[in-house]
Structure 1
Amino acid sequence: MKSTLNNLLCLIAVLSFSSCLKLEQEWFDQVVPETFFKSEKDVKAALYRPFTHARWYMGEDRWNLQEYPADQFAISTKGRHWYNGGENERFHYHRWTQDDGWIWGTWRGTLMGVALALDTKQDLERVDYESLALTQADKDDHLSQLNALIAFFYMRGLDYFGGMPIFESLDQEALPRNTDQETFDHIERLLIEAIEKLPSKVAGEKEEGAMKKAAAAALLARLYFNAEAYTGQNRFAEAEELCRDIIDQKYGVYSLDATWYGPHSFTNDSSPEIIWSIPSEFNYLQYDWFFNFFYHYNTVKYFDIDGGPWNGAHLTPSLKPDGSPYSTDFKLGSPFEKFDDGDLRKKPYVYHGNGRYEGMFLVGNHTTPAGEQIVGGEEYNGQPLVFVDQVARFSEVGPGKRYSSINDLPSKMSEGEENTGVRLVKVPIPNNADQSLRWGADNPVIRLAEIYYMLAECRLRAGDPEEAAHLINQVRVRNFEGTDPNPATAANLDEYRMLDEWGIEFLGEGRRRTDLIRWNKFTTERWWDHEPTSDHLKRFPIPTQAISGNNNLHQNPGYN
């Protein structure tokens, strides 16, 4: 179809910032959105395409930029593996450049998301819904979802880069960047319009990936919640009002899940806590990027599945090589030790069959649930594989070796081993007997727990730590079989405890950098093998590939 092909060519132009070509073959003129869409199925197929991109967008490069420059995750060099040309160290030490692939992938992926949603929106605006036995309310719903999705992509771009080029049509090309405030205002307008027309979730309704009224309201709350970092304006009061309305079910019926695993399990589409998630089905939309990066090669025996992991990422260490805690040196980091010992999530991950599992970490001696010892294949080849909450070359300690004692061991990004670091299992992995469940858990984008924590932080900032603690404890209570041994209180809840609570509840959910920036900790604090850096690093540079294709783009301050 002429319209769609032209839009797709413009999409390529958005990504490469080259000219938008026009194809004028006459035969395309007879196939346009008004005639191409023959049924509701056609409409929904078009609507779902940009949401598929959103699922991809939530992982890989975007996740990397949120977590690896922050205090909770690292990809240490493990002997001959994972130096990767220094890429992992550059992000850990805040030494990235405008030529780094993660940055280009994120810039490109952000504008690709905008382009796909805008393309679909322009097509659906021209469709006669009544001729397809659909209503004006259906059309308003679909267009409002696309507006909210465009706002979502632009808000992520604003978070990563600052002001973005604002496209209202795919016929535009080589646009300059709008200001931070203009980008903020565009996002705000799209979300306010979406909230007005999107339907509300009703009690008992499953979350199938569609954006409803509460999702748009939650995104607007996020925008106001981080407005000070984005534009220098304090909008916490507006974020608080939206959070209260969501909790009070003004935008639909949601409630906190009774269990910690409910929002992440194989059936999390039924969790009352999920405000917006994106489906992830076996061999379709997978969490395999997460699986590949985190787990040891031989962990497939523990999971009782086929191969695939690359043994890369792990939590930053809580302990020094000599076993003493880093918490005496740094207030940030040490994510595993921030979990109380009685926390049900701190148990080792074990799959019990039929979709049942417990815990979310791989730590300690690695034996299968049946008791088989798993051995290493590198530094500990043929020896028991024991995951440690430390980073150091313990295999090189002893007579005739590189280090005479553990006290001599350095702990830094270059000193990992195959068993270095605790591994997170946030996405449950079934065994081969239940392979049909694999990647069946949907990807939660917004959970009601986030709304409680946003409201708690707003109250803390407003000088009401008592209500803030009460809100946090309503989420914490489900993580213990008995009484919470360390509840938040008005006395212990300060900015660091608030950041700890964010880090514990949302560990591995791709938001840590944003939380640190909001509290002005991202470039000013120390954590494991990391020193304070420059304030301009709160934003990433505009990639060289983007600027080379569009002379109207300007670089962020502080980058050459």
Structure 2
Amino acid sequence: MRKIKDIIKLGLIAIAVYSFSSCTDLDEAVYSSVMSDNYYRTKQDIINAVFRPFEGIYSTVNQANWSEECCADQLITPSRGTWWVDGGVWAKFHRHQYDDLVEERWNQEWNSIYLTIAQANVILDDLNRLSPDHFGFTGEEWDGFKGQLRCIRAYQYLRLLNVYRYAVLCTSSDQAINKLPENQKQVEPKILFNFIEKELTDCLSSLPTKNGQSGNGIQQGQCTKAFAAGLLVRLYLNAEKWIGEAKWNACEEMCARITKGDFGYYAVAQNWYEAFDWNNDTSNEVIFAFPSSYGMNHWHMLQNHRTVYGRSMPYGSANYLDIEGDGERNPQFALSPSYDNQNPPQLFTYELGMVTQKFLKYPGDVRYKQYKNTSNKSREGMFFLEGRVPNARMNGGYAYDPFNQYVIYLRDQVGRFEGKAPEGIISNLNYAESKYENGDFNSGLYCVKYPFYSFTGGYFAESDYTIMRLPEIIYSQAECLIRLNRVDEAGKLLNSVRKRNYEVFSADIAYKPEGNVKIDLKEMLDEWGREFLNETRRRTDLIRFGRFQEEWWDKPKDKDDHYELFPIPQKVLEQNKYLKQNPGYPDIIR
């Protein structure tokens, strides 16, 4: 099936993002000297331009993942001996110690968000002065292009509202407008909230409805009415935290519109992995995904630093998966451990984190199995669990650490076990404490959300990167219903998704009133964590539930709540005298 990626040819154009510095005063270089009058010559030029910001977002998905997962309770990046120390930055993420305003990773998301906003502004302004007739488009198609840009721009502003709360609202590429002092200042969260709401509401009329009942097909990678509606769900779901006004009823109503088909046909898949599989453009569960293929872009599955999932596997697993064509795995994102380093190991008593225990709470979870490729385009299991990693190329048939000093034996613990991992023994007591700095290549289990099929089988890295899927809408609606004291309705909604995840969906697994299990806000947060593990949202969920400040593995309880927002980076503050630092962080001397 021909996807939008085959006709857009993302990345082939250079847009003059001259409004980037105007939005945030970052004094960035102009990315192209090509004037738009000279660029727009054909119908394809218009299509290329409209979807250029989409590629910019997809290429930086790792940055959102750092913000959402690395400072939350489920995923960790412990040291592996001398690997992944990186000046302690990952430990700082995890422990909420991001007061260091010069750290590059605090800068990257702010900058990349404004870059794509600036690109969208440039192209929107160009479309407003160009004629659709000149390029062979109808007025409806032209409005649809504008809707695509407004929706993806709102998506980015939603991210700014979530992560920084106080941001510059820039909607023009006119430097004379953007250089005005009032347009270089941050706006209040309510103003940003209202802007996003209006943009997305307008998009409900200009964007296309999903076609048919066989997935997004050639619409994969395009904004649709359902995606705009889903972004409104995210806006309303977090409104109480973001602007101090609860929007549970508005959120629940928008969820109901999506689930009943007002914006196209969507359905929960019969299995948990369909929305992540190589042909997920045919899945009716997927609402929006960035197109991917090994022959073109596959940022989320790469081995390099832009990855989200390419480093969510243990070292030495490439041979086991037959994916050696993309290099050996570099293990970054492991599961937060459930066990201390006593011998025999003892369970921690934290309420948050404890990922394996949350999955083991209900027996027969088909996700909680060892990942295995059952063919070159089918798989089972969602984890690398405790034990050795098969590797036929190595002596003994198992994977070694990068220095060939010991066979890797994965443990649900963090410690310098090295060659004594099977016995659970740490010989050097200087590295016995369970903490970030004391990890090795045995430390931590792994969640493999996306399939890594054989590099030579033709399906490697073909999975599109799913940003939104129907269960998010159903879970959002259920949470709203719990908060509105309509708990039985919430239980039924959650069961409609959960039933696919268990070999036998018994009464002791199902939520009331269809089963025996009580559903409350504490259980709702746990269920968010199970269904959406490693899907770039955990920080936001913890904050909404008021639990981001709590202690979890290797993180004490926060002194206050200012770490719910990230600091405005030092470079950004230095280059825009009108910006103010977020509360609780050290400001620069101006």
TM-score (normalizing by structure 2): 0.86
Against the structure 1 CA distance between its residues 78 and 132, is the aligned structure 2 distance closer, same or farther, given a 3 Å change threshold?
same
Residue of structure 1 equivalent to 2:454 = 431
Residue of structure 2 equivalent to 1:528 = 553
Is the contact made by 1:14 and 1:112 (CA closer than 8 Å) also made in structure 2?
Answer: no
Against the structure 1 CA distance between its residues 114 and 509, is the aligned structure 2 distance closer, same or farther, given a 3 Å change threshold?
same
Against the structure 1 CA distance between its residues 380 and 331, is the aligned structure 2 distance closer, same or farther, given a 3 Å change threshold?
farther
More deviation, 305-314/349-358:
305-314
Is the contact made by 2:406 and 2:418 (CA closer than 8 Å) also made in structure 1?
Answer: no
**Are 1:231 and 2:243 matched, yes or no?**
yes
After superposition, residues 128-167 of structure 1 pair within 5 angstroms as 128-167=131-170
Against the structure 1 CA distance between its residues 517 and 291, is the aligned structure 2 distance closer, same or farther, given a 3 Å change threshold?
closer
Against the structure 1 CA distance between its residues 400 and 361, is the aligned structure 2 distance closer, same or farther, given a 3 Å change threshold?
closer
Is the contact made by 1:13 and 1:20 (CA closer than 8 Å) also made in structure 2?
Answer: no
Distance 1:21 1:446 in 2: 33
Residue of structure 1 equivalent to 2:202 = 193
Deviations 1:398-430 (A, max 9, x none): 9994349xxx94211122111110112112111
Residue of structure 2 equivalent to 1:346 = 368
Deviation (angstroms), 1:70: 0.5
- One of 205, 219, 222 as aligned partner of 2:234: 222
Bigger helix fraction: 1
**Are 1:253 and 2:265 matched, yes or no?**
yes
**Are 1:321 and 2:333 matched, yes or no?**
no
Is the contact made by 1:37 and 1:127 (CA closer than 8 Å) also made in structure 2?
Answer: no
One-letter code aligned to 1:280: S
Residue of structure 2 equivalent to 1:451 = 473
One-letter code aligned to 1:448: L
Matched positions, count = 543
- Which SS does the other structure have where 2:456 is aligned? helix
Residue of structure 1 equivalent to 2:321 = 303
Q: Which runs of 5+ in 2 are unaligned?
A: 1-12
Deviations 1:353-403 (A, max 9, x none): 2311111111222343989732322697243x2211111223497999434
Deviation (angstroms), 1:96: 0.8
Residue of structure 2 equivalent to 1:94 = 96
- One of 290, 294, 309 as aligned partner of 1:278: 290
Deviations 1:158-206 (A, max 9, x none): 1000121011212213711111111111111111111122121132252
Residue of structure 2 equivalent to 1:64 = 66
- One of 452, 473, 488 as aligned partner of 2:511: 488
Deviation (angstroms), 1:144: 0.9
- Which SS does the other structure have where 1:255 is aligned? coil
Is the contact made by 1:268 and 1:274 (CA closer than 8 Å) also made in structure 2?
Answer: yes
Residue of structure 2 equivalent to 1:465 = 487
- One of 513, 532, 549 as aligned partner of 2:575: 549
- Which SS does the other structure have where 2:374 is aligned? strand
Residue of structure 2 equivalent to 1:540 = 566
Against the structure 1 CA distance between its residues 401 and 386, is the aligned structure 2 distance closer, same or farther, given a 3 Å change threshold?
closer
Deviation (angstroms), 1:267: 0.4
Is the contact made by 1:257 and 1:263 (CA closer than 8 Å) also made in structure 2?
Answer: yes
- Which SS does the other structure have where 2:120 is aligned? helix
- Which SS does the other structure have where 1:67 is aligned? helix
- Between the two proteins, what is the percent identity of the paired residues? 29
Deviations 1:226-271 (A, max 9, x none): 0111111111110010000100111111111111111000000110
Distance 1:399 1:61 in 2: 36
Deviations 1:82-104 (A, max 9, x none): 22111011111111122222210
Q: Which runs of 5+ in 1 are unaligned?
A: none
Distance 1:22 1:221 in 2: 35
Distance 1:22 1:160 in 2: 26
Residue of structure 1 equivalent to 2:5 = none
One-letter code aligned to 2:448: V
Deviations 1:277-297 (A, max 9, x none): 111121432221134433333
Distance 1:520 1:399 in 2: 38
Is the contact made by 2:391 and 2:399 (CA closer than 8 Å) also made in structure 1?
Answer: no
Residue of structure 1 equivalent to 2:535 = 509
Residue of structure 2 equivalent to 1:183 = 192
More deviation, 292-301/186-195:
292-301
One-letter code aligned to 1:330: Y
Deviation (angstroms), 1:313: 2.2
One-letter code aligned to 1:9: Y
After superposition, residues 40-55 of structure 1 pair within 5 angstroms as 40-55=43-58
RMSD between superposed Cα atoms in Å: 2.7
Distance 2:50 2:368 in 1: 39
- Which SS does the other structure have where 2:253 is aligned? helix
Deviations 1:197-219 (A, max 9, x none): 21211322524111111110110
- One of 395, 405, 409 as aligned partner of 1:381: 405
Is the contact made by 2:316 and 2:389 (CA closer than 8 Å) also made in structure 1?
Answer: no
- Which SS does the other structure have where 2:18 is aligned? helix
- Which SS does the other structure have where 2:187 is aligned? coil
Residue of structure 2 equivalent to 1:419 = 442
One-letter code aligned to 1:310: N
One-letter code aligned to 1:256: V
Deviation (angstroms), 1:455: 0.3
Is the contact made by 1:331 and 1:496 (CA closer than 8 Å) also made in structure 2?
Answer: no
More deviation, 342-351/154-163:
342-351
